[in-house]
Chain A
């Protein structure tokens, strides 16, 4: 078997025809991932024992003639902000270097119940805060497409393992673009479902009103299969939605004839010209499929970054207060008093970006500033959400770029945090509105760097979003 070219359906076929067993596949996938990992640093921890136990369970089900599940035997990478019982979960932070979770995230439980085989935990920006994966305490991830470049962030490791072929699919998390942007930089599919579509139980909280779990894959079909396996109501997450999960595989087969797709004019300024060219090529592919393109406006886009960085950092400063040196983190050696234990454990343990965001969040929430910053940002969030609702009265979906530029070089943007924040412009708006959005590849720059196209639809219209993406893929859009 050639591990890097496997898909969920070729794994299923291999198991059905007994070309390999799930245990053989897991062993080979682990060996391959370990051999390749020094190139990218995409995995932080390998979970051999857990992988082999899951694979054995699949083989036993097959031997008994039972259905082994939609993800049977499929090697999966899981972002290291999603907890895995018995398997170290660091969140890319020094504070959690030795943290072994005592329970599983719901998404992890569900993907294993569907036969998925978790081979390891993937590197990420510390507590999922960053756009380049350079904020990990365990070193940056390198982009498998061009090793001197970043894979994007914060789910850089989850994008890299799929692009590199050391996992068939992976789980990431997205708060302001952390699935879509790395998917675009590494040239794979990345899906941020509707807020509440996938349970966040066991996702280490970053910004609770914005956090999502979602899949990475090399094809739209594989991303849909993984999403369907993990989506749906979970009583352990009160924000998870009760809406029934659609049958994505069936919905995707329908052609696109007659769909109206909006191009928001605010998203096509200031693009690197090559990105604009690739976007146009992607639009042409969809036009040939019978989509009608219309210009629309999302007039509050310009204020999205400012609103986002208030809301997200305010929530960060509250959520990250649990890392206190007392319960599950490392503790500073300088902890003679309780307050010194807190201050020094946190001061020594958090990296620069985590501290920057905690500080900004504590400031905007501090006495006398709450109305001017936090409440104002929440009002602007309403306006941005209303922009989308009004656009969706005219069109079925929106198409935009994911990033204003392709993957940049390691170290190129680390000195200017504001510039790094501003690069999130095209992904942050969808996050604020909580609508489903995804990245699909749309060709390469002259230098050979992947470019990504974003598809956005209404709340709980994943079936339509995946249908557009799948039809685009099968008509050659990925190399448009």
Chain B
């Protein structure tokens, strides 16, 4: 299946990725190749086959749940330490709402 550059721009928008013109051209080519290979899946009849979202094995119904025990979590300072811009204990981002 061939992916147009217009479609690549649309998907880049969905993914919040700024791409250069060269990248758009390159990805249209690469993704078309990969999607052509992926078209192979249509050879298989999967009617009545349940989709597998997760690896499943025998276990009790609630065995993946944990006790609701309180524990110490990160401090505000620890959680903020890697922020590129922060202030007064918050992540700072460009203004979202104009006055």
- Chain A interface (Cβ < 8 Å from any Cβ of B): 98-100, 102-103, 194-196, 209, 235-236, 238-239, 241-243, 300, 302-303, 305-307, 309-310, 317, 321, 324-331, 335-344, 346-348, 350, 352, 355-356, 358-363, 366, 373, 375-383, 385, 417-418, 421-422, 433-434, 459-460
Contact = CB atoms under 8 A, between A and B. Distances in A.
Interface of B: 3, 7-8, 11-12, 14-19, 23, 26-27, 30-31, 33-35, 37-44, 46, 49-55, 57, 59-60, 63-67, 74, 78-79, 81-85, 91, 93-94, 96
Contacts, number: 170
A14 B53 CA distance: 48
A432 to B, nearest CB: 8
Given A317-B15, A355-B19, A360 B55 contact: no
Contacts of B30: 356, 417-418
Given A242-B63, A307-B41, A325 B49 contact: no
Contact of A235 (B14, B67, B91): B67
Given A363-B11, A380-B41, A329 B84 contact: yes
A477 B3 CA distance: 48
A355 B38 contact: no
A392 to B, nearest CB: 13
Given A459-B55, A460-B57, 20 more contacts: A100-B81, A196-B55, A235-B67, A238-B66, A324-B16, A328-B83, A330-B84, A355-B19, A356-B30, A359-B12, A360-B31, A375-B51, A376-B41, A378-B51, A379-B46, A379-B52, A380-B49, A382-B52, A417-B34, A421-B34
A341 B93 contact: yes
Given A306-B37, A377-B41, A347 B94 contact: no
Contacts of B40: 302-303, 306
B16 A343 contact: yes
Contacts of B57: 194, 196, 241, 243, 434, 459-460
Contact of A385 (B11, B39, B52, B82): B52
A326 B41 contact: no
B17 A343 contact: yes
Main secondary structure of the interface of A (DSSP, over half): helix
A242 B63 CA distance: 7
Contacts of B94: 335-338, 340-341
A331 B85 contact: yes
Contacts of A100: 81-82
